């Protein structure tokens, strides 16, 4: 398994999980010189996928470089993710979510205001679908029937009601949820409840940063929901950020 060994134009070991491939990218790959051309397409594919892994590696590097750990539990990433937004990075994130969910026939992306909106909109350009975001207040603009959920806000440490207009999601939809963070799972759980109530199908959730040590992601995965997090933080004790190998 440490060798990507190609023969007769077909790879014997071909790792679809690109993150896994990166682990082996520093190892030896044996390709017979006569088969170079036969295997050219596989090589191109391999390097394209490797590029995607490298891009997502750059998310981890960015978190280490610009993230600030507060009280061992809160990660501030205001300088590139949820206050000043690095659109080049958002583009790579959107592309990666598309790569992960492109076969799911997504019809809508659902997120929650405010930090999820920017990321969801960039990702939606790849899927070519609308974005619906859950509002955290019921303003006079929000008329007609609404789905309502209640979530516990980790950052504000209080309960918040969220609303989505009923006519904006339906039974015909296959929905991808996108959000910036996953911590205890309250926000994701609230959105899932609304999607269930609407009778829509949930394809899964794309999360930029999951704080694995707070357990929300694994809890929601254990309920059978596909949760894809681009970076999972295993611990950040004493400001030292450790990622879960993926």
Number of H helices, E strands in the chain: 6, 12
Among 22, 169, 187, 200, which residue sits at the site for ligand 5GP (rule: CB under 6 A)?
A: 187
Asked if residues 161 and 139 have their Cβ atoms less than 8 Å apart, the reply is no
For CA atoms 174, 102, 204, 97, give the dihedral sign: negative
Among 186, 204, 206, 212, which residue sits at the site for ligand 5GP (rule: CB under 6 A)?
A: 186
Residue 155 binds ligand 5GP, judged by CB under 6 A: yes
Residue 228 binds ligand 5GP, judged by CB under 6 A: no
Annotate each residue in 34-73 with x if it binds ligand 5GP (CB under 6 A) or - if it does not, as one string: ----------------------------------------
Q: Which residues inside 110-149 make contact with ligand 5GP, applying CB under 6 A?
A: 112, 115
Q: Which is nearer to ligand 5GP, 185 or 204 (CB)?
A: 185
CA of 25: how far to CAs of 44, 60, 201, 225, in Å?
A: 14, 18, 37, 30
Stretch that binds ligand 5GP, among 10-18, 24-32, 162-170, 184-192 (CB under 6 A): 184-192
Judged on CB neighbours under 10 Å (0-12, 13-18, 19+), 207 is buried
Residue 230 binds ligand 5GP, judged by CB under 6 A: no
Residues contacting 234, CB < 8 A, separation 6+: 212, 213, 242, 243, 244
Backbone phi, psi, residue 51, to 5°: -60, -40
Helix (H) or strand (E) holding 220: helix 216-222
Residue 183 binds ligand 5GP, judged by CB under 6 A: yes
Q: Which is nearer to ligand 5GP, 94 or 149 (CB)?
A: 149
Stretch that binds ligand 5GP, among 28-36, 129-137, 162-170, 179-187 (CB under 6 A): 179-187
Residue 210 binds ligand 5GP, judged by CB under 6 A: no
Q: How many residues bind ligand 5GP (CB under 6 A)?
A: 21
CA of 217: how far to CAs of 15, 40, 125, 152, in Å?
A: 25, 39, 26, 15
The DSSP 8-state label assigned to residue 200 in this structure reads P
Distance in angstroms (rounded) separating the CA atoms of residues 105 and 129: 10
Among 54, 75, 100, 121, which residue sits at the site for ligand 5GP (rule: CB under 6 A)?
A: 75
Instruction: Provide the binding-site residues for ligand 5GP, judged by CB under 6 A.
Output: 74-77, 82, 112, 115, 154-155, 179-188, 211, 216
């Amino acid at each position: 398994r440490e060798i990507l060994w190609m023969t007769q134009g077909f790879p014997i070991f071909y790792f679809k999980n690109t993150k896994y491939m990166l682990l082996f990218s520093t190892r030896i790959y044996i390709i017979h010189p006569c088969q170079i051309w036969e295997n050219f397409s596989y090589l191109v594919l391999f390097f394209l996928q490797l590029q995607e892994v490298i891009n997502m590696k750059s998310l981890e590097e960015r978190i280490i470089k610009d993230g600030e750990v507060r009280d061992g539990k809160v990660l501030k990433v205001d300088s590139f993710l949820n206050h000043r937004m690095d659109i080049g990075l958002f583009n790579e994130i959107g592309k990666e979510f598309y790569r992960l969910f492109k076969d799911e026939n997504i019809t809508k992306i659902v997120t929650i205001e405010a930090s999820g909106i920017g990321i969801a909109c960039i990702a939606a350009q790849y899927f070519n679908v609308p974005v619906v975001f859950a509002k955290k207040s019921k303003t006079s603009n929000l008329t007609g029937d609404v789905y309502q959920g209640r979530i516990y806000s980790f950052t504000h440490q209080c309960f918040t009601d969220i609303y989505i207009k009923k006519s904006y999601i339906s039974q015909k939809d296959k929905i991808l949820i996108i959000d910036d963070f996953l911590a205890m799972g309250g926000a994701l759980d609230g959105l899932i409840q609304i999607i269930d109530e609407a009778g829509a199908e949930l394809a899964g959730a794309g999360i930029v940063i999951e704080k694995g040590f707070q357990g929300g992601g694994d809890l929601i995965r254990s309920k059978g929901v596909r949760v894809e997090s681009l970076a999972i933080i295993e611990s950040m004790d004493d400001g030292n950020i450790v990622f879960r190998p993926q």
